[in-house]
Amino acid sequence: MSEKSFNRREMMGYASVFGSAFLASQGSFPQSAQAAESNSLRVSPSKKYDMKKSINLWALPYPKQMSLKECFELCADAGFEGIEVNFDLEGDLSPESSENDIIAIGKMARQLGLKISGVCSFLFWPYAFTHEDPAKRAKGVELAGKMIRAARLLETDNLLVVPGSVYAPWLPDEPPVPHDVALRRASEAVKSLIPQAAKQGVYLNIENIFANGFLHSPQEMNQFVDSFKSDHVRVHFDTGNIMQYHFPEHWIPLLGKRTKNIHLKEYSKKTHEFNLDAFRLLLDGTTNWPAVLDALDKVGYRGYLTFEYFNPFPHWPEAIVYQTSDAMDRMLGRK
């Protein structure tokens, strides 16, 4: 296709849909534009970062298609150093698990060369600290206590804590909670857990959440975390959760040393939507990863970078694990 067959307006229209890189590869962009695009796509040597690779189990088809052991074996073979496990109401890691059961999970991971990078849970939503139902709030605190115990038995000091919400769009039947009430309830819940967390040597890492109307700026997060005056209340920073309106490289310097653990979630600002399906595989979005990694490096972060993804492939699910490991190797300057 000759470049003369397009006028400037047509070229801009096609570029907005297909991307200038694709059009250039088809010989459909002027030579000057192709040259500029080529220069921007050149691979440059990566800076090396002293951080550790981890992946959350939600990226794998567990437990429907794979056992916990099979997941651990796959992640170890792919080159991950850590794995984040999820606490549920039933299953391998749940309130029904015995102390020995939980210890065995951590031991199995270590025997394969993995460490448990943290404990995560979806249960912070149905049993939110900020819920209008006091029985559900109490259940949430009770479950968080069991998660603290599980973290200790797994030999990780990281527990991701969702502080609550003003409103969660994926729970449309739940009434919204006023900001001041949400703050009071979340503060009371976290404060009640600090003695147990400190005794067990576990950190309550408060996660920034998308679309929950609560703690939506780094300043608010800092004020919330600092209000407890406890080293055992820190931040679990999720890069993708603030990408609809913010930029993770702007949050990281302001959070500073408060950040104890990290979720790497990819997001594209081109999607103009925000739900669990909007998150993408690493490097297939608009996150400025060099800026994010530099920001983490500058605040002295040396912990785990955990890939979180909610849509495991229905076929050849191992592809996500190997692809993510390879992407992280490149991001960390290992390749």
Complete DSSP assignment for 184-245: HHHHHHHHHHHHHHHHHT-EEEEEP-TTSSSS-SHHHHHHHHHTT--TTEEEEEESSTTTTT
130 C-beta neighbours (distance < 10 Å), count: 26
Work out the pLDDT band at 36, boundaries 50, 70, 90: very low
pLDDT at 153 over 90: yes
Distance of alpha carbon 81 from alpha carbon 96, whole angstroms: 28
Work out the pLDDT band at 171, boundaries 50, 70, 90: confident
Contact 48, 334 (CB under 8 A): yes
DSSP 90: S
Q: What 3-state class would DSSP assign to 178?
A: coil
CATH superfamily of 52-331: Divalent-metal-dependent TIM barrel enzymes (3.20.20.150)
At position 235, the amino acid (one-letter code) is: V
Place of tokens 């440059």: 44
pLDDT at 24 over 90: no
Bond before 218 cis per omega within 30 degrees: no
User: Of the given ranges (194-198, 277-281, 287-291, 325-329), which has the lowest mean pLDDT?
Assistant: 277-281
Stretch 66-90: mean pLDDT, rounded?
98
pLDDT recorded at residue 141:
98
Work out the pLDDT band at 208, boundaries 50, 70, 90: very high
User: Of the given ranges (9-18, 138-147, 220-229, 254-263), which has the lowest mean pLDDT?
Assistant: 9-18
Residue 229 CB-density burial (10 A; 0-12 exposed, 13-18 middle, 19+ buried): exposed
Distance of alpha carbon 243 from alpha carbon 210, whole angstroms: 9
Across the chain, mean pLDDT equals 90
Tokens of 317: 């699910």
Contact 45, 84 (CB under 8 A): no
More confident residue, 267 or 211: 267
Could you state, in order of their start, the residue ranges of all structural domains in the chain? 3-41, 52-331
pLDDT recorded at residue 272:
72
pTM over 0.95: no
User: Of the given ranges (118-132, 204-218, 295-309), which has the lowest mean pLDDT?
Assistant: 204-218
DSSP 56: E
Read off the pLDDT of residues 261-300 as tens digits, 9 standing for 90 and up. Answer: 999 999 988 877 766 678 899 999 999 999 999 999 999 9
pLDDT recorded at residue 30:
54
pLDDT recorded at residue 7:
60
Stretch 31-37: mean pLDDT, rounded?
47
- 246-270 core/surface letters (b: 16 or more CB in 10 A; e: else): ebbbebbeebeebbbbbbbbbbbee
Stretch 61-79: mean pLDDT, rounded?
98
pLDDT recorded at residue 311:
93
More confident residue, 127 or 2: 127
| Closest by CA position to 134, among listed 173, 188, 81 | 188
Work out the pLDDT band at 11, boundaries 50, 70, 90: low
Distance of alpha carbon 217 from alpha carbon 233, whole angstroms: 17
Distance of alpha carbon 13 from alpha carbon 6, whole angstroms: 10
Distance of alpha carbon 120 from alpha carbon 129, whole angstroms: 15
pLDDT at 260 over 90: yes
Bridge partners of residue 235, in order along the sequence:
206, 259
Work out the pLDDT band at 37, boundaries 50, 70, 90: very low
pLDDT at 45 over 60: no
